[in-house]
Structure 1
Amino acid sequence: MTEQRPALQLCHVGRTEAGGIESGFVIENVNFTCEAGTWTALAGPAAAGKTSVLRCAAGLDPVTAGEVRLAAGLRLAHVGLRPVTEQLATIGTLGSALGQLAAGEAEMLHGALHRLDLWEERDTPVLGLTESRQRAAAVAIAVADAPDVLLADDLTSGLPPAGAAAVLDLLRDLVDRQGLCVVSSAADLASLERADAVVLLADGRVVETRVMP
Structure 2
Amino acid sequence: MTDHRPALQLCHVGTIGAGGIESGYVIENVSFACEAGTWTALAGPAAAGKTSILRCAAGLDPVAAGEVRLAEGLRLSHIGLRPVTEQLATTGTLASVLDRLPAAAAEPLREALHRLDLWEERDTPVLDLTGHRQRAAAVAVAVADAPDVLLADDLTSGLPSSTAEAVLDLLRDLVDRQGLCVVASAANLASLERADAVVLLVEGRVVETQVMP
In the superposition, the TM-score normalised over structure 1's length comes to 0.97
Letter of the 2:200 counterpart: L
Identity over the aligned pairs, expressed in percent?
82
Alignment partner, residue 128 of structure 1: 128
* Matching residue of 2:116: 116
Moved over 6 A (4+): none
Deviation at 1:120, TM superposition (A): 0.6
Report whether the alignment pairs 1:51 with 2:51.
yes
- The one-letter code of the counterpart of 2:197 is A
State the alpha-carbon separation in 1 of the partners of residues 166 and 75 from structure 2: 24
Question: Which amino acid counterpart does residue 85 of structure 2 have in structure 1?
Answer: T
List runs of 5+ in structure 1 lacking aligned partners: none
Partner of 1:208: 208
Q: Summarize the alignment of residues 9-158 of structure 1 with structure 2, pairs less than 5 Å apart.
A: 9-158=9-158
More divergent stretch after superposition (99-108 vs 67-76): 99-108
Q: Give the C-alpha shift of residue 105 in structure 1.
A: 2.2
- In structure 2, C-alpha distance between the alignment counterparts of 1:26 and 1:105, rounded to whole Å: 39
Corresponding residue SS for 2:55: helix
TM-score (normalised: structure 2): 0.97
| Cα RMSD after superposing both structures | 1.2
Deviation at 1:109, TM superposition (A): 1.0
Question: Which range is displaced more, 98-107 or 37-46?
Answer: 98-107
Quick one: which amino acid aligns to residue 165 of structure 1? Answer: E
**Alignment: residue pair count:** 212
Separation (CA, whole Å) in 2 of partners of 1:34 and 1:179? 12
